[in-house]
Amino acid sequence: MEEQIIIKRDMHTNPAYGVSPRSRSIEQLFQTGFIALDKPKGQTSAQAVSYVKKLLNVKKAGHTGTLDPEVSGVLPILLNDSVNLASFLNKEKEYIGVMHVHKHVTENEIRNAFQKFEGRISQLPPVRSAVARRVRE
């Protein structure tokens, strides 16, 4: 499939206020951007951030939410100036998983079970967890 760019309104960035995202240098992107890291299993979120800081040679980096060490998944890492925006970001999560069911279960039964996990719920982290054990919403 050929890449297609749809322009609703042709606008230009005033050079006095910066440059368009496609025109930014790698240095500018590292100063104000973020990366979506696929954190490997067996590494803490803090270790992943430390690794990224060294690899990209940036002064500041921070993540937007902790993933347990034994979990792999996307960990957004803010770089340099963008670290200051962490408190403004929406921190809702979506989980995707694979399961093996040992007996016949209808799709309707699965959907009904999953509905219990939608919206705001309270839960206690497991005994073996990287976070403090207290009920969280």
Q: Read out DSSP for 40-99? A: PTT--HHHHHHHHHHHHT-S-EEESS---TT--EEEEEEEGGGGGGGGGS----------
Q: Which residues are catalytic?
A: 68
Q: Which pLDDT tens digit goes with each residue over 17-70?
A: 878 778 888 998 999 899 999 999 999 999 999 999 999 999 999 998 888 888
Residue 87 domain boundaries: 15-115
Domain count, the chain: 1
When the pLDDT of each residue in the chain is averaged and rounded to a whole number, the result is: 85
pLDDT band at 122 (very low <50, low <70, confident <90, very high): confident
The residue type at 131: V
CA 71 to chain centroid, in Å, comes to 13
pLDDT of residue 91: 65
Phi, psi at residue 93, to the nearest 5°? -120, 155
For residue 4, pLDDT over 90 is answered with no
Closest by CA to 55, choosing from 84, 82, 77, is 77
Q: Which two tokens stand for residue 133?
A: 């054990």
Q: Which pLDDT tens digit goes with each residue over 74-83?
A: 999 999 999 9
CATH number at residue 43: 3.30.2350.10
For residue 93, pLDDT over 80 is answered with no
End-to-end C-alpha distance for the chain, whole angstroms: 43
CB 82 within 8 A of CB 32: yes
pLDDT band at 96 (very low <50, low <70, confident <90, very high): confident
Tell me whether residue 123 is in a domain. no
Tell me whether residue 109 is in a domain. yes
